[in-house]
Amino acid sequence: MSVPATEAVVANGLAALMPDPARASAKADKQMFMDLLVAQLRYQDPLNPADSGEFLAQSAQFTSLEKLQDVADQTALLLSAQLAFGASSMVGHEVTYSNADGTTAAGVVDSVAFGADGPTLTIGDAEVSLGAVLSVGGLADTDAPSVPATPTDPSSTTV
């Protein structure tokens, strides 16, 4: 399946990770630009109208700005998704983290919660932000059933 480069990334549950003030500010900036452009056209001197080339250049700059903002928004969503997937993959792993008082501690990640401040790991009774993690080890030993060893000698297998 081919995915075109211009296809939009669907936010699903990750839109909550995008800050609302940033989206509101971008919309206000777009509206302000359009208001200024309309006012410039409305109050121009009829004997000396604005150059059409200049108008087209401003329009192209506005379109370019919109597209760059869309790319920045999509990049922020992808970064949020990457952080979420990275944090969720730590469940069951041993981690070393820095406490609020500066000491280090270690434990096994029990679960991950996703909030406005980013992913928060639950390690025992402690709630640890993803930024406080210093190192990630392998999977912790669990009581999972072991897989029996496969025989190495082909003559010892029964058919």
Indicate if the pLDDT at residue 95 is higher than 50.
Answer: yes
Give pLDDT tens digits for 144-154.
Answer: 444 434 445 55
Give pLDDT tens digits for 38-65.
Answer: 888 788 877 777 777 887 888 888 889 8
Q: Where are the domains of the chain?
A: 15-87, 90-139
Residue holding tokens 């999509």?
74
Provide mean pLDDT across the span 53-79.
87
Q: Which tokens in the block code for residue 1? A: 């399946």
